[in-house]
Amino acid sequence: MIKGKIRIVIGALLLLVGSSLFGGPSKQSAPKAKETETLSILVYIPGMVAGSPPYEQLVAGAESFAAAHPQVKTKVYEAGFNQAEWEEQLTSLVASGEYNLVLTSNPSLPELCANVAKKFPNQKFIITDADFSGNPQISTYLFNQYEQSLYLGYLAGLITTSAMEHAASDKRIGFIASQEYPLLNNHMVPGFLAGAQLVDPEITVDLRIIGNWFDANKAAELASSMITAGVDVFAVIAGGAAQGVIKTAQEQGAYLVYHNVNAYQSAPGIIVGCGVMEQKKLVEEILAEVQAGKIQYGSSKIVGVKEGYLDFIADDPGYTNFVPEEIRAKFNAFMEDIRAGRISYTLPRL
Ligand code: RBF
């Protein structure tokens, strides 16, 4: 008994000594030099923040990091929806020389940043939701959207073949997107179809393009004509325009499975499955690495479910109250297989 206690005390002492030796919390340890330097970050939003979950989370991550680190300053710049102006806007912001780092997010940004980088060889760029390597000024992080689309497609497949209230008999699910780009065409739509076809190979995906990231009326019209054509479950990647799809689904009776964010409460019984993309967490971690001087430029990293940056929200009443037990059991088992790496697939090239 006493021997046991002595062991515990010695163990605790060793832990204390160890933690101060190996950089654990200790009153004497001075902050690392890097952490006292000012870090000025331009959070460059290619669009508008409101209504776009990836951008809302990008800003939230940068601002929460800055709030916890007084020497970190952030400036959020909303570039708006005219993509033809983005490069010029970014060039003049970088030309001010005010920012140590440009932090931005979307798959079209690497080429644009590479062009700006050529003119400003000391400027560093971090781009999430993008895949680009080989430029020593740029670091990228890609969410595995094939994987998220695969499991949301599997849920859509279970629903479209079910007896749920709004399920139709056509085995047709829908994907409404703002514009076509490689991540959408090569990862998200194929993943969504592949997931649904794991349930039933006869399921097809009806893909429609809005043409911009803000027109909710156009999105609503597309959704309406798709429902008439037999679509009963939608995925939507459309920023603020997604509201039009949600409204039409509520009015005419159809379901949505939602990428990236918990949206159950905005349409209970209609939005019946939500994925999550941990962009806020990723940004906080990246900025900690930047500040510690550990960030690798020139490289690209892909993150998904296994790494803890994508998942599905299965404990929300928007899911548990509206999706029948039988479907949830099948879907939850599939999600477990995804988490454990038991679902094999080849990630298509972008
Ligand atoms: N997603 C949004 O939520 N809002 C946007 O305004 C937006 N604009 C985009 C513009 C371009 C040119 C591209 C390629 C993607 C855009 N995305 C936008 C998509 C976003 O970056 C991401 O790929 C999807 O949301 C899937 O996670």
When the pLDDT of each residue in the chain is averaged and rounded to a whole number, the result is 92
Instruction: Look up residue 301 and give its amino acid.
Output: K
- Residue 64: is it exposed, middle or buried by C-beta count within 10 angstroms (0-12/13-18/19+)? middle
User: In order along the chain (350 residues), what is the average pLDDT of each group of 10 residues?
Assistant: 46 42 40 68 97 97 98 98 98 98 98 98 98 98 98 99 98 98 98 98 98 98 98 98 98 98 98 98 98 95 97 98 98 98 95
Mutation pick for ligand 1 pocket among 86, 106, 192, 280 (CB with most ligand atoms within 8 Å): 106
pLDDT of residue 15: 44
- The CA 107 to ligand 1 mean position distance, Å, reads 8
pLDDT of residue 37: 80
Ligand 1 site, residue 213, Cβ cutoff 6 A: yes
Beta carbons of 248 and 33 less than 8 angstroms apart? no
Ligand 1 site, residue 185, Cβ cutoff 6 A: no
Residue 148 Cα: closest atom of ligand 1: 27
What 3-state class would DSSP assign to 11? helix
Ligand 1 site, residue 299, Cβ cutoff 6 A: no
Which DSSP string do the residues of 270-286 spell out, in sequence order?
A: TEEEEEEE-HHHHHHHH
Ligand 1 site, residue 147, Cβ cutoff 6 A: no
Mutation pick for ligand 1 pocket among 45, 85, 109, 213 (CB with most ligand atoms within 8 Å): 213
pLDDT of residue 35: 57
Rounded CA gap, 144 and 309, in Å?
9
DSSP label at residue 16: H
Q: What is the CA radius of gyration of the chain?
A: 23
pLDDT of residue 34: 55
- The CA 54 to ligand 1 mean position distance, Å, reads 8
Ligand 1 site, residue 237, Cβ cutoff 6 A: yes
Ligand 1, atom 2: closest residue by C-alpha: 239
Domains within the chain, CATH numbers bracketed: 39-143+280-303 (3.40.50.2300), 145-277+314-340 (3.40.50.2300)
Q: Which alpha helices (DSSP H) does the chain contain, by range?
A: 2-21, 33-36, 53-68, 86-95, 109-119, 145-160, 182, 189-199, 216-228, 242-252, 279-291, 317-320, 325-339
Ligand 1 site, residue 239, Cβ cutoff 6 A: yes
Ligand 1 site, residue 57, Cβ cutoff 6 A: no
Ligand 1, atom 7: closest residue by C-alpha: 239
Ligand 1, atom 4: closest residue by C-alpha: 239
Rounded CA gap, 6 and 2, in Å?
6
